[in-house]
Amino acid sequence: MMEVSAGRPRYEKVLERMANACEKSGRKIDDVRLVAVSKFHPAADVERVASYGQIDFGENYVQEAMQKRNELDLPDLRWHMIGHVQSRKAPAVAGKFVLLHTLDSIKLSNALEKTLNSKNIGQTALIEVNIGGEEQKSGVMANELPQLVEHVLAHCPHLKLEGLMCLPPVFDAGEAARPFFARLRLLRDELRKNFDLPLPQLSMGMSGDFEWAIAEGATIVRVGTDIFGPRPPKMRDGLI
């Protein structure tokens, strides 16, 4: 029988592409983590991909993520929040994800800190950078990065900054995204130096360009379509 989505060969093809990209750039496969992006796909698909050995899953919407997690009896999965989080949703997110990829404002940092502080728990986070400087996109502008880092260090002790994340302005365009990945790495290197922080993680690269992200130092790639198949058309790419 043919499996149209989330089949094992699809998944293994992604692992193979990752391995090839690592080899090409002289990196170890263990240094790049695959986050399977399951937004708009049902819990049953997550369960199937988990049965292939996948542990890290990414979701864009808080409510959808929580619903899916409740449907599944898979406590060992590691859930990542990779979508924009409004400050008013901070209480639902704080401490609930292994990694928040999309810290993007002082306001959100403060809202998260408030919940984390009241529960006395920590939250690891990446700062999302608006790497193409696009007006309508979320993420902090590169020139505002130091200010946000400074704020988190001074006022949000329960937030642990681990690195940076980006979504380049070109989509599914392979090598065309590479300069944006390189730029994110440079920004991380600058912060590392200026704030004396390790910032080990770079979350960058999706189905259409993750090999180029790995070549530029990605430690986390976020792959949806090439694992799960196309998303339902109406809701594709956050257009809901």
Which residues contribute to the site for ligand PLP (CB under 6 A)?
Answer: 37, 39, 60, 82-83, 167, 206-208, 222-226
| Cross-strand bridge partners of residue 160 | 124
Q: Are 191 and 145 in contact (CB under 8 A)?
A: yes
Q: Are 102 and 141 in contact (CB under 8 A)?
A: no
- Among all chains, which residue has been given the structure tokens 């790419």? 237
CB of 37 to ligand PLP, least distance (A): 4
The distance of Cα 164 from the centroid of its chain, to the nearest Å, equals: 9
CB of 34 to ligand PLP, least distance (A): 11
Q: Which is nearer to ligand PLP, 60 or 115 (CB)?
A: 60
Q: Which is nearer to ligand PLP, 139 or 217 (CB)?
A: 139
User: For the chain, how many residues are written?
Assistant: 240
Task: Say whether 59 sits in a helix, a strand or coil.
Answer: strand
Name the residue whose CB lies closest to ligand PLP.
224
| Cross-strand bridge partners of residue 201 | 163
Q: Which is nearer to ligand PLP, 149 or 218 (CB)?
A: 218
CB of 60 to ligand PLP, least distance (A): 5
Number of H helices, E strands in the chain: 9, 8
The DSSP result for 21-57, as a single string, is HHHHTT--GGGSEEEEE-TTS-HHHHHHHHHTT--EE
CB of 154 to ligand PLP, least distance (A): 28
Q: Which is nearer to ligand PLP, 169 or 208 (CB)?
A: 208
CB of 230 to ligand PLP, least distance (A): 8
Q: Which is nearer to ligand PLP, 122 or 174 (CB)?
A: 174
